[in-house]
Amino acid sequence: MTPYGLETEQRREPLGLGERQPRLSWKLESDRRGAAQSAYRLTAAERAADLDAPDRLLWDTGRREADDGLLVPWDGPVLRSATRYHWRVEVWHETGAAAGTAQSWFETGLLHRDEWSAVWIGRDPALLPPVDPPGEDELPSPALASPPLYLRRDFHLARRPLRARLYATARGVYEPRLNGVRVGDVELAPGWTEYHRRLQYQTYDVTDQLRPGVNVLAAIVADGWWCGYVGFDARRPAQHYGEQPGFLAQLVVDFADGTRQVVATDANWTERPGAIRAADLLMGEYVDHRRQVPGWDDVAAAGTGFHPAGVLDTDPGPVVAEPDHPIRVTRTLPPVGVRRTGPGRHLVDFGQNLVGRVRLTVRAAATGHRIVLRHAELLADGELYVDNLRRAKATDVFVTGGAEVEVFEPRFTFHGFRYLEITDHPGELDPSDVAARVLHNDTPWTGRFECSDATVNQLQSNITWGQRGNFVAVPTDCPQRDERLGWLADAQIFAPTAGRNADVSAFLARWLRDVIDGQDADGAFRDVAPAVTLHREAAPAWGDAGVIIPWYLWRVYADRRALERSFPAMLAWIRHISRHNPDLRWRHRTGNAYGDWLQVDVSTPREVLATAYFARSTELVAAAAEVLGRPDEAAELRDLHARIRAAFVDSYVGDDGSVDGRTQTAYLLALAFGLLPQHLVPAAVEHLAADIEKRGNRLTTGFVGVALLCPVLTEHGRADLAYALLHQEEFPSWGYSIRHGATTIWERWDGWTESAGFQASAMNSFNHYSLGSVGDWLFGRVAGIDQTPTSVAHRELLLRPLPGGRLTWARAEQETVRGRVACGWSIADGRITVAATVPPGSTAELHIPTPDPESVCEGDAPAAGRPGILRVEPRAAGVALWLVSGRYTVTATAPAPVP
């Protein structure tokens, strides 16, 4: 048994950690059935070699009896700033015998505020007064009020350093440079947070970029979210956070003799305009290579057109270490088609709706040649469809400098697009000279689902690409138009699917702090986080993200700290609703009351949806109180939940099991949230099924209901309808959009239809993950990977593969916090084969669907009594096997096909 995947604060080898008591984790793998951890020992030292020297250890837990390694808090000596700590884990088998070891490291950032000697610098308004901003139809334009800053500082090193770290952040977005070379690979740093409460800094190892003698530290800083266009307000830049971009950084250089040199942002820095004349996240970027200053960020350009930078602020403000994975370029896509559409005009198809930017190589262009790049998700009559972008121009401009070969790639903007129009390109465009660069938070990809049906595989691909494109700084609603906000309902609905595809623990925990930061004094969350553009109280299902996501992080990742930090806000939200709705029907203080957003041809009563969420969130906060050892609050909330449930039944449920509105979503909420008396559940299921069947196996659910649709049908014995909806290719359905070329999830079922064409451009995104929340069901029931209702972090697996529809096989795997879990099935020649992997320390209840319990075999023998199989029990629809850890292949007589 071997530990692997070592993490500190849910990241591999983090540089610049801000937690003073970080948590350490590891996974386990073994080829032996029944393998489990019985104990561990953690040791730590400042040098890797000292881990083998007992007298040099900083921390030694000794042997501790424990059966997992999930988020074990550091309880060693107080951590020092800017220090690397190497750590090792040793584990023991369930038998008590020693097993494997593994080691990793983490490095602290600046843990104390007084360690910041840097001051905020930027453009000195007295020297370079800003010009008036252009009108929106002129963007991108070199006349922006805040053209990007090009900042630099010369400094001298007497000798080669032993170690050097750059700590940097910006009011805006920045790219650091050292001696003419870019530092690191982080994009759009420092990301987007509630800047008035938290502004993240990044840490870079720059030891190998320094040299004895003169060095140059430099940076380019653009408006970003700080003072660029944000959201859909028809307003000028700088009205959300500040008036102009700024930069804060300090380079800490340590030498072998124990001395230290610090180079910080201060009045000794200089600034000038550069080749990037304008940069805005929504509008685009304007680059003029005629204005390049070769070597501006190296020694050669000392003093060339630079002016003293202005000191904007001497207080560093609420700077914190970046706690999650940054934005990076994660892949580069070549075009699948390039078509010349006119003189100097080309249309490029990348074959995939994506989020990022374009890299264009231009050859032998005359000086001053202006090339325009426009981006769009779809075509209309062979041309770019850009109406749905609203105010966002999504346009980049490149003016050539006359070199034989020039490469244009914007730095401080991103677009949502599949298609690219290049205007005034000199000569023919070689497809190898253009590429799409995919940008998103680099959350580790941990899940995979596939099956025998190409359309379902395309659906899974669409879901994953939607996740990539909308996990950029915050979990956005859409990445292309003038919005790109962190809508709470979208995130809470999609979180279970997101966690199937990737490890989103650190990403969501960090964003959750923005959710809590937006809560008002009365306990109301906002619709979006960070809270810009929209400042009203959150709507039902939107504000409830402040409860649902912390509970999700506990259930899936065992993140107790996130639950503890969120609990006061969770409780305040419930008390806010209760205080303003004493009759326990949530109809007052409902914000914008979006209801089941973008449902089709029906209207679910908003009061029904709101009260159902009031009940659900109350139930979850009660459960959180129990986990956190708060019995009095748990009892209070359990009682409140019972009373809300009774009010729901009294007000909205008929004696025949009908629910007010009689929509699919109304029934789904009542069933999924356990709000119905048991004797009415079968009738409600029948009402739900009848509604689907009368519509020709079509759905009507919007953002809220769609996540519940297939799971509820499956749980209540109507997997046939769940599969019918999955395979449906007529409008409205997932298959309809795929049949018409979708490569991401659309915002609305009717984003484009054969009968009506494009929906209203005012709200018609073609990359919007909410309706892709079915992905959780694909992993959890189609392939079968789930956990029992009381399990935390996949300790007790519930593996329930569900053959059905037109599938002949399906499989999924996930890297959970305990290790790799896999489940899959196939049917051939009248036999079903189920393959399952259970990681060390976990157990599993595996359901085999079969009409013949006696036919169940593991390997070549009957399952009962096989190694690792604790017991076998017949079930109504097959057989249940209880497994210890290991890999299993089980066969049985195949079930009858689900229609």
In three-state secondary structure terms, 332 is strand
Active-site residue among 377, 406, 421, 483?
483
Whether the CB-CB separation of 199 and 514 falls below 8 Å is answered with: no
Residues 600 and 754: their CA atoms lie apart, in Å, by 16
In 3D space, the residue among 708, 717, 723, 650 whose CA is nearest the CA of residue 682 turns out to be: 717
Vertex 378: Cα angle to 377 and 381 (nearest 5): 155
Residue 248's alpha-carbon distances to 145, 177, 546, 691, 824, in angstroms, are 21, 14, 32, 59, 51
- 678 exposure class (CB count in 10 Å sphere: 0-12, 13-18, 19+): exposed
Residue 743's alpha-carbon distances to 15, 445, 771, in angstroms, are 35, 19, 13
Active-site residue among 187, 271, 322, 747?
747
Known catalytic residue at 271 = no
Structure tokens at 510: 């960090």
In 3D space, the residue among 541, 539, 491, 789 whose CA is nearest the CA of residue 665 turns out to be: 541
In 3D space, the residue among 441, 449, 445, 450 whose CA is nearest the CA of residue 479 turns out to be: 441
For the chain, what is the radius of gyration of the CA atoms? 29
- With a CB cutoff of 8 Å and minimum separation 6, the contacts of 55 are none
Residues 581 and 88: their CA atoms lie apart, in Å, by 53
10 Å Cβ neighbour count for 729?
A: 13
10 Å Cβ neighbour count for 889?
A: 11
Structure tokens at 189: 């740093």
In 3D space, the residue among 419, 356, 414, 357 whose CA is nearest the CA of residue 384 turns out to be: 419
Peptide bond into 732 cis (omega under 30): yes
- According to DSSP, the residues that pair with 441 across neighbouring strands are 327
Structure tokens at 878: 């097959």
Known catalytic residue at 187 = no
Vertex 597: Cα angle to 704 and 515 (nearest 5): 70
Catalytic positions, written as ranges: 483, 747
